[in-house]
Amino acid sequence: MANPSSSLALMRTGFERFLAAIVIVLLVGMTAVVFGAVVFRKLGASLVWYDEVASILLAWLTYYGSALAALKRSHIGFPGLIAAMPPALRLPVVILAEVIVIGFFVLLAWVGIEVLGYLEGLTLVSLPWVPVWFTQSVIPIGAVLFIIAELMNLPEILREARGHGPIHDPEIPAELLNPDLVKDARGAER
């Protein structure tokens, strides 16, 4: 049987590449739309649809990018606060925080799906062949992707909260989190 942690790492890597590819495509697409719109405007033939499409692409980029950031644990957090807590408090506080975050995104996905039903039959103003429900489907999809990212990070987050390994904070150098690696003024390890 495969090692569960290596299987999760493989899934996590694949999921990260999937999200990164989507973010890159959206960013390139949005750039092309805006750049093309500028060129057409300078030529005196403005595109009537670019503003609406660029706004939608920006919203999609935001939702998919936030899921990627969640997977990389790059959202604003308070790891220093958690690290400063007594070990007995860390785990319950981290579990509560994860329940709140995942609960919020479950609610967002559920409400997002409900809203899609109300948008049935509506189309974009500048592109009447594009249904509004399609453009807004990013809300529940992005929420589900964020939940998946949080769940993929959960084993590592819980391990850190139990005191096994440093609390993840990209701003704090690893040397400061591990006193065994601190060197004295002469460069020798203590």
Tens place of pLDDT per residue across the chain (190 aa) = 456 668 888 999 999 999 999 999 999 999 999 999 999 999 999 899 999 999 999 999 999 999 999 999 988 777 778 878 887 888 999 999 999 999 999 999 999 999 999 999 999 999 999 999 999 999 999 999 999 999 999 998 898 888 755 566 555 555 555 555 545 545 555 4
Instruction: Give the model's pLDDT for residue 85.
Output: 82
Helix, strand, or coil (residue 164) = coil
Q: Where are the domains of the chain?
A: 4-181
Q: Determine the pLDDT at residue 176.
A: 52
Instruction: With both helix axes pointing from N to C terminus, report the angle between 50-71 and 138-161 in degrees, rounded to the nearest 10.
Output: 20
pLDDT at 33: 95
Containing H/E element for 15?
Answer: helix 4-42
Asked if 129 and 52 count as a contact pair (C-beta separation under 8 A), the reply is no
Amino acid residing at 137 = S
Residue 83: predicted pLDDT? 79
Q: Which residues of 146-163 are buried (b: 16+ CB within 10 A; e: fewer)?
A: bbbbbebbeebbeebbee
Cβ distance 158 to 18 under 8 Å?
no
